Copies of this chain bind each other. A is one copy, B any other.
């Protein structure tokens, strides 16, 4: 079968760029599609201080570097959305918003999106006090007062995590009890996490940075102000698994694509990496996943990689 490109990477975030670098260096012809301008969720991070090698760098700047790096090895198709992938006998058809391509293997790096509160100030202060990832951004709030919004295990663990970094932490939950395990709630209380029950966030406000939130008690309907420097919204992730579902890829109970340690899915010629595959949600782990998936994908195009 004649391929337009040997390997197609869908999604130009950290995982996709790493996959492109590794596939290209392994001797494959590579195309990368992104419905937008690329960069993925990292673009929302004003500062990244946990990608080894860069003590502190803007998310946009880091992704710009990765893009330039990947462009050495792959053709980039920005603004071209992949609408459908069809398995062929000996290849994969990639149907985009512009045209069709035949490739030998596809690596899905479509990422995930953070479930939003959809309140005033959330979008405006994203990256300026509003965060969706305590592991990523917690350290920036060391010694400061923060709110965690949510009531599941993730929210409570993020609250404990922020506490141990040295934050003063309030969990805002709309009901009078958590979905989280009781033991976690006990641990959080023991460690000094404070809970504000039956409350919803109505607004996030500030000037340059977040300065506080307006919360409403759903029972009394009373509003109050909580002054905080950070708001961690922990109400769930939405892995971008539309293409994966079309293809019949196995997903876990949260909708993430199930892959083995080399990024192989249950369907031949289809690989996956990055936030669409798991919940660790770190730039460094996404890159490693992309690199491995690229090495594994070589075999699908009749080539070799040492791994």
Contact = CB atoms under 8 A, between A and B. Distances in A.
A284 B282 contact: no
B135 A307 contact: yes
A245 interface: no
Contact of A26 (B52, B72, B165, B292): B165
Contacts of A27: 161, 164-166
Contacts of A139: 25
A154 B285 CA distance: 26
A279 B306 CA distance: 9
Given A21-B52, A287-B288, A303 B135 contact: no
Contact of A18 (B72, B187, B261, B284): B284
Interface stretch (A61-69, A89-97, A101-109, A170-178): A61-69
A164 B26 CA distance: 7
A254 B72 CA distance: 35
B303 A292 contact: no
Contact of A161 (B21, B26, B52): B26
Interface of A: 14, 17-18, 21-22, 25-27, 49-55, 62, 65-66, 68-70, 72, 134-135, 138-139, 154, 157-158, 160-161, 164-166, 187, 261, 279-280, 282, 284-285, 287-292, 295, 303-307
Given A25-B165, A53-B53, A54-B69, 4 more contacts: A26-B161, A164-B304, A284-B288, A284-B291
